[in-house]
Structure 1
Amino acid sequence: MVVLSKIYTRTGDKGETALGNGSRVAKHALRVTAYGTVDETNATVGLARLHAEGDLAEALKRIQNDLFDLGADLCLPDQDKDGELPYTPLRMIAGQVDRLESEIDAMNARLTPLRSFILPGGTPLAAHLHLCRTVSRRAERLAVELAEGEAVNPEAVKYLNRLSDWFFVAGRIANDEGKGDVLWVPGLTR
């Protein structure tokens, strides 16, 4: 259980922060930027939830919890500062990715195929889901970049990849199951 009795610690006043293993890194370190962007994604999901109801609201709540798991995964390198972790770390698992895929498939089955790219927008919920999509894509790019130089759980990267797809399809669902999608018209203002 987490107990937060004091919010500020002053330990980051010189531009460093602690990772989950106790090691200290610059606040602009790629690992910190990656899990910080996952946190930003989570905040955008919170905004989307203000407009969601029923099954979609429940799915977004599950995703917010997953994003905390994902942040915990990314903030913890494979070892602690002394070489080994004294506990089993929380890591993303294939089942979380599989659940997103199942939900994407179920939502997509309700939609007609796209014949054009769509513009972010439509209903307030759809617009927020498109914002979630773009922020989660940025988190994915950062996690992929981090994985080029450090150990990153592959399921974390897969989750982020599926998540942005989930937000795209959910945005279409929020636009009257695609009937309210705003279609891109190439060269419209030429």
Structure 2
Amino acid sequence: MAIYTKGGDKGKTSLFDGLRVEKDSVRVATYGTFDELNANISLADKFCKSDRNQKILHAVEYRMFYLQGEIATQNSEQFLKQSQFITDDDTHMLESVIDSYTKELPELHSFILPGTSVAGAQLHVCRTICRRAERSFVKLSKGVQFRPELERYINRLSDFLYIMARSEDYEDLVDHVTKQVVEVYSRVKDGH
């Protein structure tokens, strides 16, 4: 079976509920940017040193499907009947990670570079894409009403990605310092 339908050859696409819209509409741009974000989150989780971070990011990747689906539906009631959707529990999960990681990580007193590790840098890419998606969502929200639960989740997402980037940078730093200490210890033990 072919993956192409030819239905979009004239610049239109179908939303989740079947409504045909222009491909350059704000709605399509918004869920498309969140799709771009999700692909980048998937890439980030492959670079993570922390198994815990990989698992958390993987869970967020699934939530992104629900987020995109709701944005890609004109008739939100129809979507809510047919699919899982973002709830305040999902937002609380992001907040829980943000709060616990903030306590675990060293305090910051200045701006930081966007990533000192590959995973950290990729998560900062995710953060900036998330901000762009959020700006598009806010623009769309001026003419379309969305559930407050979805709005809250989107608002927390970039902060979550920021703290995940910091976590991965810290994991990388600890790993690097540990390797250096082991190397020095080995040299001293061997009499070099």
> Which band: TM-score by shorter chain?
0.7 to 0.9
Take 1:87 and 1:101, find their aligned partners in 2: how far apart are those partners? 24
Aligned to 1:40: 36
Deviation digits for residues 19-51 of structure 1 (CA, Å, limit 9, x no counterpart) = 111111000111111100010000111110121
The 1:116/1:177 distance shift into structure 2, 3 A limit, reads farther
3-state SS, counterpart of residue 13 of structure 1: coil
TM normalised by structure 1 equals 0.84
User: What secondary structure is seen at the aligned counterpart in 1 of 2:21?
Assistant: strand
Cα distance, 1:154 vs. partner? 2.4
Q: Is 1:139 aligned with 2:105?
A: no
1:15 to 11, 17, 42: 11
* Contact residue 117 and residue 172 of structure 2 kept, 8 A: no
- Mapped to 1, the partners of 2:60 and 2:72 lie a distance apart of 18
Q: Work out the CA distance in 2 between the residues paired with 1:136 and 1:127.
A: 14
Determine the structure 2 residue equivalent to 1:64: 61
Give percent identity, aligned residues only: 38
Q: Which runs of 4+ in 1 moved over 6 A?
A: none
- Structure with a larger share of its residues in helix: 2
| Change in CA separation of 1:57 and 1:21 when aligned onto 2, cut-off 3 Å | same
Query: Is 1:158 the counterpart of 2:152 in the alignment?
Result: yes
The TM-score, its normalising length taken from structure 2, stands at 0.83
Larger Rg: 2
**How much does 1:109 deviate?**
0.9
C-alpha separation in 1, matches of 2:81 and 2:125: 34
Distance 1:57 1:85 in 2: 32
Equivalent residue letter for 1:119: L
1:137–1:160 contact (8 Å) kept in structure 2: no
Distance in 2, Cα, partners of 1:13 & 1:158: 36
Q: What is the one-letter code of the residue matched to 1:116?
A: S
Q: Which piece of structure 1 moves more, 169-178 or 133-142?
A: 169-178
1:167 paired with 2:181, answer no
Report whether the alignment pairs 1:108 with 2:111. Answer: no
Q: Does the CA-based 8 Å contact 2:95-2:156 persist in structure 1?
A: yes
Structure 1 unaligned spans of 5+: 181-190
Structure 2 unaligned segments of length 5 or more: list them. Answer: 175-192
